[in-house]
Amino acid sequence: MFVLINLKAYDVDPTAIADAVAATAASVDARVALAPQTAALASASATGAETWAQHVSGEGAGSYTGSANAAAAAAAGAVGTILNHSERRLTLDELERAIDAADAAGLETVACANTPAQVAAATALGPDMVAVEPPELIGSGVPVSRADPDIVEHAVEAAAAIDPDVPVLCGAGISEGEDIAAAADLGAAGVLLASGVAKADDPAAALDQLLGPLA
């Protein structure tokens, strides 16, 4: 089970959450990572926590002011990147170029999609993983595995029809340990979440509660 915690642009202490991720990951039967803001990649990685970028661009080195360079993210300690999140949408061409840039930099990729059809299209571009996340459920506290379990099962089927070696993550509304278990029951290989940890009064306690069933 892969648990990827996206800190988005929330007003949080990324290093403190990274410390909690590193400590918790050592005691659970799961792969746990966080995706902080670009400026915090190095400090988060230095804690020993598996650290991902929230986005990278398809452009390489050059005159690309404001782009998120994949090689720079890797140099700062990232081992992977989220792509095409609902809050950072890409065209299929942009997504393909971003996947290629990430691959060249040695970064793993999770390509996000809203629907099973989009999951299939993203899978065809060759990411390491895909994630299905209906945007209306993001930040809602209502997990997609409960609100619309069919979309998870259909996403798993859609990805498998293109490439059975590409795992599917379940995103949107994940906030409790039972949500992770439900996602696994539907065929998901992991979860992508954010506010359940990042917006909690005590992120470390929320992380313990979330991952407790995986200990």
> Which residues are part of the catalytic machinery?
85, 133
Rounded CA separation 98/63 (Å): 17
Torsion (CA) 8, 10, 16, 17 in degrees, nearest 10 = -40
Both structure tokens of 121: 């299209």
Q: Exposure of 201 by Cβ count < 10 A (0-12 exposed, 13-18 middle, 19+ buried)?
A: exposed
Q: What DSSP assignment string belongs to 84-143?
A: S-TTS---HHHHHHHHHHHHHTT-EEEEEESSHHHHHHHHTT--SEEEE--GGGTTSS--
Backbone phi and psi for residue 110, each to the nearest 5 degrees, phi listed first? -120, 115
Site of tokens 């959450």: 17
DSSP 8-state code for residue 137: G
| C-alpha–C-alpha distance, residues 138 and 190, integer Å | 16
Q: Which residues pair with 6 in a beta bridge?
A: 35
